[in-house]
Amino acid sequence: MNRILPASVAAVAVIGLLVALAAIFLDRERPEIVWSGKTLRVGYAEEYPYAFRDATGRVTGESPETARVVLKRLGIGDVRFVLSDFANLIRELERGEIDMIAAGMFITPERSRRIVFSLPTARVGQGLLVRQGNPKDLHSYTEMAARPDVTPAVLAGSVEEEYLKALGVPDVRLFRVPDAATGAAAVKAGRADGLALSAPSVNLLAEDSNGALAAAAPFAGSVEDGGELASSPAFGFRKADEDLRQAVDVVLRGFVGSPEHLALVAPFGFTAGDMPKKTTP
């Protein structure tokens, strides 16, 4: 005997089917947990505002704070931050001494041959930190390169070092430093005439110098393909950890540039104008 189901029963059945389908869809979209459960060691180097220790000793900055949110959403709660010199981070990652880089490291072709990068977490221009009053009247990396009387300070292994070398600055003129604070101290003491770093780093260092240092203004960044060259910081991973990188990207794709993310990085000087304009490394 055929029976007609009551409307309420039919509705419940339809709702149950929709819930099941939604669960299947969400399960497909959810990043797969790809870490073994051991401590995930995150390497960083001191460079304001990307990564640094605050007055309490907490590791903070644009990169560590973003990393904390992303890893938490992936269910990875056992995280330890490991301090290193910037120039050693990739080597330590390759050796297995750390598992991830969260240091505001910019994506470059050379680095990408050795490690894999996540999606960008920002997009920033160049800057130059000088002594107050800009005594040598420096307003671009090109000017620094053209003047043999100028000693540029650079973070060892940084893209700014590569920019200046490409402009013809010989190694003997470069004042290499292990971190941004040391570079700022060198400029303040007159051992270097300017510290070449990204604009957010330069601005924060100038603000924290009690008036001794300033961001060179106006400043003309290097030009490539008709536009001012900008750099994209991202997280770095071993090539063998491609699954982890992909899972991180799933979270970054929906998080970077969101109101929550902008509120998180605003204390470090980042705004909506500093967000990446593309969704691939």
Residue 262 has pLDDT above 90, yes or no: yes
Domain assignment present for 187: yes
The residue ranking higher by pLDDT, 22 or 149, is: 149
How much is the pLDDT for 32? 57
Q: Is residue 92 domain-shared with residue 171, that is, in the same domain?
A: no
Interior CA angle at 69 toward 66 and 75, to 5°? 140
| DSSP strand pairing (100-106 vs 40-44) | parallel
Q: CB under 8 Å to 112, separation ≥6 — which residues?
A: 281
Q: Are 189 and 163 in contact (CB under 8 A)?
A: no
How much is the pLDDT for 29? 44
Domain assignment present for 149: yes
Q: Are 125 and 84 in contact (CB under 8 A)?
A: no
Q: What is the mean pLDDT of residues 176-193?
A: 96
Q: What is the pTM of this model?
A: 0.77
Q: Is residue 100 domain-shared with residue 161, that is, in the same domain?
A: no
Domain assignment present for 217: yes
Q: Is residue 46 domain-shared with residue 179, that is, in the same domain?
A: no
- pLDDT digit string (tens) for 100-138? 999 999 999 999 999 999 999 999 989 999 999 999 999
Q: Is residue 144 domain-shared with residue 65, that is, in the same domain?
A: no
Q: Is residue 44 domain-shared with residue 74, that is, in the same domain?
A: yes
- pLDDT digit string (tens) for 39-49? 999 999 998 89
Of 5-9, 142-146, 254-258, the one with minimum mean pLDDT is 5-9
* Angle between helix 199-207 and helix 180-189 axes, rounded to 10 deg: 60
- pLDDT digit string (tens) for 211-247? 999 999 999 876 554 455 678 999 999 999 999 999 9
Q: Is residue 194 domain-shared with residue 158, that is, in the same domain?
A: yes
Structure tokens at 108: 């470059």
Domain assignment present for 256: yes
Residue 119: give the domain boundaries: 40-123+231-274
How much is the pLDDT for 228? 59
pLDDT band of residue 38 (cuts 50, 70, 90) is confident
What's the total number of domains in the chain?
A: 2
Q: Is residue 45 domain-shared with residue 116, that is, in the same domain?
A: yes
Tell me the average pLDDT of the chain. 87
Q: Is residue 110 domain-shared with residue 93, that is, in the same domain?
A: yes
Q: What is the mean pLDDT of residues 35-60?
A: 91
Domain assignment present for 5: no
**CATH number, domain at 88?**
3.40.190.10
